[in-house]
Amino acid sequence: MSLYKEGSRAIKGVTGPLLFVSNIKCGGYGEIVSIETDTSTLMGQILQVEGDLCVIQVFEDTMGLNPESTTVWLERDVMKISLSPALKGRILNGRGEPIDGKGPIIYEELKLPIQGLPLNPVKRSSPNAYIETGISSIDLMNTLVRGQKLPIFSGAGLPANELATQIVKQARVPGSKGQFLPIFAAVGITAREAQYFINFFNDTGTIHNGIFFINLASDSAVERILTPRLALTAAEYFAFFLGYDVLVVITDMLYYCEALREISAVRDEVPGRRGYPGYMYSDLASIFERAGCVRSGRGSVTQIPIITMPGDDMTHPVVDLSGYITEGQIVLDRGLNDRNIYPPINVLPSLSRLMNKGIGRGKTVEEHRSLADQLYASYARAKEVERLRLIVGEDGLTEEEKFFLRFGEMFEEKFLNQGDEYRDIKESMEIAWDCLSILPKEALYKLSEDIIVKKLSGRERKTS
């Protein structure tokens, strides 16, 4: 560490979170600076360098900053986070400073840049271990796999947070001895939501073996750029250095993207769709891609980001781009929620791309795939018949179609609607078979003859 610090007082301008500083020799791209004002010391990062002029984004509020009496000190290093097992059980703010009153984290094993390095695709191993979440519509139809990145697409007022906490509480890899560590990154959520999470984790005891990064809606927007990266650097450390199975929940990525847009707008960049910057895809990828398993190690990083769809619009750029990067999505549905069905997961647009790797013989049951396919096909048909009913009326439907209607109702009431109950895969499947037993055998064309006989004979046809 050098004994002196280089600094500059030549501040040419301030707009929102940006500071324009000249007279900086050899400014480094992405390096951290500290900004000493009359009253406090702020933290910033160099965004662009042109000769001796630097554009600096400030992570805290720049209100009241006086260019005349401010000094910018160069730290000569990129943003890093101190890592050690002592992080476990701590609550930190969006910049990685403890806020739980337990004092500073003294022990440091190593420091890693929060930007992270991309995983070498050759050194990855395919995620293939089934995670049981205890939620039927996920386990049976959109299976979560260890090392996957599976976002929850939610809408304003839909219970995404409840679902996320339920997954954190219940998720387990059957038969695995690996240590499990939840990491929670709150990005721009309200104090009320934060309180819900803290209470929940306190009640379940998760607070002692998880790590929590909290950036509230009232905190600086620029800080939101850091929070997910801090959480993921910690996740990579615990996973790939210490061998934990880490589950990272990030809520809410929409606010992250809004912060990105805010900075981009101040920098006068050419806006892309809906004002979001053109590089948002690469930026989001640098977060979402930090999940996976590696060949050489035991650990894994699984990600469940929550993304609010503004106006329930799945083509909104943030949702759309995320969908291109993540390995599937769990979509919450307002219609189901209005009918008090919890969790209100609409299985038709939901998808888990890695599902096939985590299910089947030796993992769950052999007929898992075909059962899920059958449920999809039948439920899609049921929804189609429902629409048809609006046109032709109940009387215009054939007998077969009426069976589908009843199947649809039972599927939503019994299979989807499970409340807080934990169902293991066997229980979920039982309910699925019950639902399918409504349908005539000829409609079960995705299932093999043997399975139909084995599972459905003797089962009372629930035609009521």
- Least Å distance, CB 26 to other proteins, is 4
CB 211, CB 85: distance < 8 Å: no
CA 321 to each of CA 159, 273, 324, 448: distance values in angstroms, whole numbers, following the listed order? 22, 11, 5, 38
CA 86 to each of CA 92, 113, 340, 455: distance values in angstroms, whole numbers, following the listed order? 12, 18, 42, 50
Binding residues among 371-430 for other proteins as defined by CB under 8 A: 373, 376-377, 380, 391-392, 396
Question: Which tokens is 317 given?
Answer: 């750029």
For 72, phi then psi, to 5°, come to -105, 120
Cα–Cα nearest to 249, from 316, 178, 193: 193
**The residue type at 261:** R
Q: Is 281 a residue that touches other proteins (CB under 8 A)?
A: yes
Which one, 27 or 94, has the nearer CB to other proteins?
27
CA 242 to each of CA 96, 222, 239: distance values in angstroms, whole numbers, following the listed order? 20, 31, 6
Which one, 315 or 464, has the nearer CB to other proteins?
315
Q: Is 450 a residue that touches other proteins (CB under 8 A)?
A: no
CB 215, CB 94: distance < 8 Å: yes
Which one, 229 or 423, has the nearer CB to other proteins?
229
Q: Tell me which DSSP letter residue 206 carries.
A: G
- Least Å distance, CB 306 to other proteins, is 17
Which one, 161 or 350, has the nearer CB to other proteins?
350
Q: Is 174 a residue that touches other proteins (CB under 8 A)?
A: no
CB 181, CB 88: distance < 8 Å: yes
Which one, 363 or 423, has the nearer CB to other proteins?
363
Which one, 136 or 142, has the nearer CB to other proteins?
142
Which one, 206 or 329, has the nearer CB to other proteins?
329
Can you tell me which of 223, 252, 327, 367 binds other proteins, judged by CB under 8 A? 327
The stretch near other proteins (CB under 8 A) out of 6-14, 15-23, 94-102, 320-328 is 320-328
Can you tell me which of 240, 255, 256, 404 binds other proteins, judged by CB under 8 A? 240
Binding residues among 334-363 for other proteins as defined by CB under 8 A: 348-349, 351, 354, 356
Can you tell me which of 10, 178, 273, 365 binds other proteins, judged by CB under 8 A? 273
- Least Å distance, CB 81 to other proteins, is 15
Binding residues among 87-146 for other proteins as defined by CB under 8 A: 113, 115-127
Q: Tell me which DSSP letter residue 209 carries.
A: S
Task: Report the alpha-carbon distance of residue 112 to residue 80 in Å, rounded.
Answer: 5
Binding residues among 177-206 for other proteins as defined by CB under 8 A: none
- Least Å distance, CB 373 to other proteins, is 6
Task: Report the alpha-carbon distance of residue 252 to residue 356 in Å, rounded.
Answer: 28
Which one, 393 or 458, has the nearer CB to other proteins?
393
Binding residues among 296-315 for other proteins as defined by CB under 8 A: 296-297, 315
**Total chain residues near other proteins (CB under 8 A):** 73
Question: Which tokens is 418 given?
Answer: 């499970």
CB 312, CB 346: distance < 8 Å: no
Which one, 107 or 324, has the nearer CB to other proteins?
324
Cβ-proximal residues to 332 (8 Å cutoff; 6+ apart), any chain: 152, 153, 154, 155, 158, 159, 160, 163, 343, 344, 345, 346
Binding residues among 11-70 for other proteins as defined by CB under 8 A: 25-31, 48-52
Task: Report the alpha-carbon distance of residue 326 to residue 393 in Å, rounded.
Answer: 41
The stretch near other proteins (CB under 8 A) out of 61-69, 210-218, 283-291, 418-426 is 283-291
Can you tell me which of 94, 151, 292, 358 binds other proteins, judged by CB under 8 A? 292
Question: Which tokens is 11 given?
Answer: 């501040």
Please report which residue ranges of 237-303 form alpha helices under DSSP H. Answer: 253-266, 280-288
Which one, 65 or 226, has the nearer CB to other proteins?
226
- Least Å distance, CB 292 to other proteins, is 6
> Chain centroid to CA 15: how far?
32
Which one, 189 or 253, has the nearer CB to other proteins?
253
- Least Å distance, CB 269 to other proteins, is 6
Apex 74 CA angle, 68 and 77, nearest 5: 155
